[in-house]
Structure 1
Amino acid sequence: MSRLAVLVPGGRGQLGSELARILAARSGALVHAPGSKELDITDAEEVADAVGSFAEAAKDAELEPVVINAAAYTGVDAAESDPDRAARINAEGAADLAKACRSSGLPLLHVSTDYVFPGDGTRPYEPTDPTGPRSVYGRTKLEGEQAVLESGARAWVVRTAWVYGARGGNFVKTMIRLSGERDSLSVVDDQIGSPTWAADLANGLLELAGQVAERRDPKQKVLHCTNSGQASWFEFARAIFAELGADENRVNPCTTADYPLPAPRPAYSVLSDAAWREAGLTPMRPWREALAAAFEADGEALRGR
């Protein structure tokens, strides 16, 4: 197995912090996981310098370098009124990073989202299915995908969905907070996806990074990586209450129409892992099993303690 050096733009976020944590525990690995204050992905010159310096450091340490882009504008609703900023990070920033990776000869794994699909499907989306984002966030992430794949860099796009983890804000933390504030709550039951633990996603990305470092490149340039199975937000919320030992019946179903938000959400955004498995990568465990593992490993952090 190759000894990796991994650069993680967006390294202080939900996914980036997990990548950094896992790599820091690996003997012989090198990780540089700068947050946005340390590496502004909207500054092309800064990005080029960071990638070039990282390439030299990896070479000096005789490690195999890989860049995993976890930097993103993820405020789905905020993006509707801040499209320029969302585009600078999700599209232009991704393009500049890919250009820098091409110049330095480094492979790039670019993390994207289920929001690139229209959400009107009835079976899990394959990477080759037609896209059709319905939000600014989804549109800018799709533009970033296209820029990365057209850059000439040795690059792959990895789409994921419904991510939660120990760091940052997410649905799990919101449900935990609300469980202590309200006697009952209503959660949308007509949006279906695959809840994904950031730690499992990070491990999947690092397995892919190892393949790429060893030149066992997946033939397909776009892959999907989520915990397996599917649930509605309502079902996800009830599972969170179960992990808390709280009464699941306090969570009631409602419709999207009952809970309007600035950005439209995909009604169905389950992602197929067929291409992931065909690439010889380990299938992700079921989302419910992952949620239990997340509470066991990161329960204090999820509870905000």
Structure 2
Amino acid sequence: MDDGPVTELGAIFLPQQPPERLRDVARAAEDAGLEQLWLWEDCFFTSGVAAAAAALAFTSRLRVGIGILPVPLRNVALAAMEIATLHRLFGDRPIVGIGHGVQDWMGQVGARAASPMTLLDEYATALRALLHGETVTSQGRYVRLDGVRLEWPPSPPPPLLIGATGPRTVSLAGRLGDGTILAGDTTPAGVRAAVDRIGPAEGHKVVVFLPASTGPGAAERLARQQEKFGAEWPGVAGDAAQVADVVRQLAEAGADAVILDPTPEEPSPEGFVRFVAEEVRPLVN
């Protein structure tokens, strides 16, 4: 086994938790030495950007991820302004991913695109250019900008992660992104397939969300979540050794970061982040 960690490790603060709990969970994560705390922008719970800014302000070392910002929901110039502001304020601690979003939700707010792939392609291209300080003019099908340039671009430009499930989106992420975020029902074999599809992209990071549950009733909580969301793979329920074993499998398949996803029924979000940092992490070093 290598001397260093085989993969970065993190946990998710689910949007099903009330926003006012974020302060305690973020501080518990930092105090326990957790590397990354991730947030979701699920409709219609909490804002990913507002929550991330708060979590970063509550802490001093913790990296905070947003997985993902749904691109139909916000203009690309606004997204660039928000991401740039986070990085100007907090350096390399923010991690931001973009993606299609849940299409039913996008339909509810009148933002569903007829061609999500075209939108994501145009959006990622423009966003990357804006974050690199370029002046962008675009007359695409969805993204239309006229000489837009950020007044306060981040320096250095932050990596852009793209959430992906299907093979076409994985290929797009490999082509346009600095990293790919894979959904929670991605098996080790699925990670290998994604890595093969991404190809030899230098420095490209693969982030995998792993549903995980521990303690009394863990397997039952995970089974209820799997049934509710129709996931093909439930994830892992068990003690630290059992969770660490699956983390290692994902790392060996090509995951650069594994982010443990508790169930909405998790009795203690603070306890969960401590479990990941203090019990699972030592077993995957």
TM beyond 0.5: no
Higher normalized strand content (fraction of residues)? 2
| TM-score for both structures, normalised by structure 2 | 0.39
| TM-score for both structures, normalised by structure 1 | 0.37
